[in-house]
Amino acid sequence: MASGQRMAIVTGAGRGIGRAIALRLAQDGMNVVINDVNLGTAESVVNEIRELGRESFAVKADVSNRREVFEMVNQVVERFGQLDVMVSNAGIAQIKPLLEVTQEDLEQIFNINVNGVLFCLQAAAEQMKKQEGGGKIISAASIASYKGFSLLGTYSATKFAVRGITQAAAQELAQFGITVNAYCPGIVGTQMWDLIDEKMGPYMNLPKGETFKKFTDSITLGRSETPEDVAKFVSYLASPDSDYMTGQSIMIDGGVIFS
Ligand code: NAD
């Protein structure tokens, strides 16, 4: 790693899993830049990180815009001199039968969930190569990276793609000391699941809250996942303890999928 305090960017960190990851990395001793399309939520997480005694600032950027992603990394390097960890967490869900998916739907979800992950990987790797000290690139995959879920077909396709990018990038970037891994959460109680519950319910004839409950009932450990459950694992992926792991998309789901 480059000299000085380790530095991370977490995308989509204004709320949910990204926020929990950012706070956890700060607790682990890192300075953390908070990216989101929503500047207001990003800034509130920046305040939480500063209260932990770490440095932070917010960058409003859309991960599906390659130029904005590269500018974000440049801004971080100008202010902090280095980038050691990139967590490509930003993502969206889409609930629709595949037969109803439009070209616009496909473009929107692939632009964010796949192109966004690749742009963050490109921008981070370019900087990490210059530093000559390696680095860690970590992306949000899902249990839907291993199993295509009904009514989440496009979402599942994007998360399978994240696994593919992770495997290929690990092989291309190993020569620079950069590891590339992904985390696969299960059923996490965030606003993303509020949306899935609301939109999926009518297709399944289930009232509000019952779709989340039905999915939660399938979890071996018997409870839904918290953003902190995910953050604990990402903490490991961001730490030197995971130095011998690369190209992996690992389930952290309480036992939903057994791969
Ligand atoms: P969330 O919807 O609660 O939060 C996502 C955040 O990303 C929001 O703050 C949003 O403003 C931001 N965002 C959206 N589009 C963006 C863009 N183009 N550029 C920058 N920021 C953007 O979602 P979450 O549940 O916290 O999920 C985080 C990640 O974890 C996603 O990639 C998601 O697919 C993945 N995941 C979530 C679950 C779950 O159960 N919630 C399960 C598996 C995987």
Interatomic CA distance for residues 250 and 142, integer angstroms: 9
Average pLDDT over residues 196-221: 96
In the predicted model, is pLDDT for residue 4 greater than 90?
Answer: no
The protein residue whose alpha carbon is closest to atom 41 in ligand 1 is 188
- The closest-lying atom of ligand 1 relative to the alpha carbon of residue 16 is 26
Contact between 176 and 128 under an 8 Å Cβ cutoff? The reply is yes
Give the pLDDT band of residue 224 (cuts 50, 70, 90). Answer: very high
DSSP state of 231: H
Entry pTM: 0.98
In the predicted model, is pLDDT for residue 3 greater than 60?
Answer: no
| Ligand 1 site, residue 39, Cβ cutoff 6 A | no
| Ligand 1 site, residue 76, Cβ cutoff 6 A | no
Interatomic CA distance for residues 30 and 40, integer angstroms: 22
In the predicted model, is pLDDT for residue 45 greater than 80?
Answer: yes
Question: Which secondary structure element, helix H or strand E, spans residue 213, and what is its range?
Answer: helix 210-216
The protein residue whose alpha carbon is closest to atom 39 in ligand 1 is 188
Residue 11 has a pLDDT of 99
Residue 143 has a pLDDT of 98
In the predicted model, is pLDDT for residue 215 greater than 70?
Answer: yes
Give the pLDDT band of residue 259 (cuts 50, 70, 90). Answer: confident
* Percent of the chain topping pLDDT 70: 98
Average pLDDT over residues 64-90: 98
- The closest-lying atom of ligand 1 relative to the alpha carbon of residue 93 is 34
Ligand 1 center–CA 202 separation, angstroms: 23
Average pLDDT over residues 187-199: 97
Structure-token pair, residue 97: 């039968």
In the predicted model, is pLDDT for residue 31 greater than 70?
Answer: yes
Q: How many CB atoms lie within 10 A of CB 5?
A: 15
Structure-token pair, residue 151: 């009514």
Structure-token pair, residue 257: 């999928």
* Percent of the chain topping pLDDT 90: 98
Give the pLDDT band of residue 1 (cuts 50, 70, 90). Answer: very low
Residue 2 has a pLDDT of 45
In the predicted model, is pLDDT for residue 243 greater than 50?
Answer: yes
Tens digits of residue pLDDT in 142-182: 999 999 999 999 999 999 999 999 999 999 999 999 999 99
